[in-house]
Chain A
Amino acid sequence: QVQLQQSGAELVKPGSSVKMSCKASGYTFTSYYIYWIKQRPGQGLEWIGRIGPGSGDTNYNEKFKGKATFTVDKSSSTAYMQLSSLTPEDTAVYYCARSAARVMDAWGQGASVTVSS
């Protein structure tokens, strides 16, 4: 079955960076876009952007340009998102999701990032 397994929780200091992973299984990794979504504590969903694992092309929400960077490793079917210059406003759960035909049909379990000194 389709699975997206995300990396674990991170506690990081303000000003630092964090890189999280999203390992895909159960489908052809390069055939679907990977999307990244942010959910702050008790809040709604915010679309960060997407990457096409086959082509490497990316789209970023303007709000997250310079903050988030997407990469993939096709050999391990893993997508990555790096967040830089972290502030407390980056404290959130970050989800990866698979998308085809402009809908996210499978989601990872989420990766919690806490930014605190």
Chain B
Amino acid sequence: DVVMTQTPVSLSVSLGGQVSISCRSSQSLVHNNGNTYLSWYLQKPGQSPQLLIYKVSNRFSGISDRFSGSGSGTDFTLKISRVEPDDLGVYYCGQGTQYPWTFGGGTKLELK
């Protein structure tokens, strides 16, 4: 199975600040079709996860441009700028390139 490693485990941020979350995979996430199926999800307290970013850098419908994804191969980053209260929760990266799909352990974003 592909192991997804997220760092840091938790982050404290001031409102309006910027944060970065790293996600590394144990194998390349480039699929045979040339696509890289790396997604980012946010799970707000008491809610289901929601899709933020898919295929490394594509924002899902309705997602603010304050969220940006980048990376390639095995190394990926989610950046959140101008952090707002509604951004708080646990962020997960997930890969859909190889079965079984796997997720990182999560990064908890909290207010400083």
User: Once bound together, how far apart are the Cα atoms of A107 and B39, in whole Å?
Assistant: 14
Q: Is the CB of B49 within 8 A of A103?
A: no
Kindly specify which of B70-78, B80-88, B100-108 makes contact with the partner chain.
B100-108
Interface residues of B in 32-78 (CB under 8 A from A): 35, 37, 39, 41, 48-51, 54-55, 60
| Closest chain A residue to B100, Cβ basis | A61
User: Once bound together, how far apart are the Cα atoms of A105 and B39, in whole Å?
Assistant: 10
Q: Is the CB of A95 within 8 A of B103?
A: no
Provided the pairs A102-B96, A102-B97, A105-B60 are in contact, do residues A44 and B51 lie with their beta carbons within 8 angstroms?
A: no
Given B35, B37, B100, B104, which contacts A44 in the complex, CB threshold below 8 Å?
Answer: B104
| Closest chain A residue to B106, Cβ basis | A44
Q: Is the CB of B51 within 8 A of A104?
A: yes
| Closest chain B residue to A102, Cβ basis | B96
User: Once bound together, how far apart are the Cα atoms of A30 and B37, in whole Å?
Assistant: 22
Q: Is the CB of A46 within 8 A of B103?
A: yes
| Closest chain A residue to B95, Cβ basis | A102
Least CB distance, A73 to chain B, in whole angstroms: 22
Q: Is the CB of B96 within 8 A of A103?
A: yes
A109 / chain B contacts, CB cutoff of 8 Å: 48
Q: Is the CB of B101 within 8 A of A47?
A: yes
Q: Is the CB of B99 within 8 A of A103?
A: no
User: Once bound together, how far apart are the Cα atoms of A72 and B97, in whole Å?
Assistant: 25
A89 at the interface (CB under 8 A from B): no
Q: Is the CB of B92 within 8 A of A102?
A: no
Provided the pairs A44-B92, A45-B49, A107-B48 are in contact, do residues A59 and B99 lie with their beta carbons within 8 angstroms?
A: yes
Least CB distance, A68 to chain B, in whole angstroms: 12
| Residues of chain B having any CB pair with chain A under 8 Å | 31, 35, 37, 39, 41, 48-51, 54-55, 60, 92, 94, 96-97, 99-106
The 8 closest A-B pairs by CB, nearest first: A102-B96, A61-B100, A107-B48, A103-B54, A47-B101, A45-B103, A102-B37, A105-B51
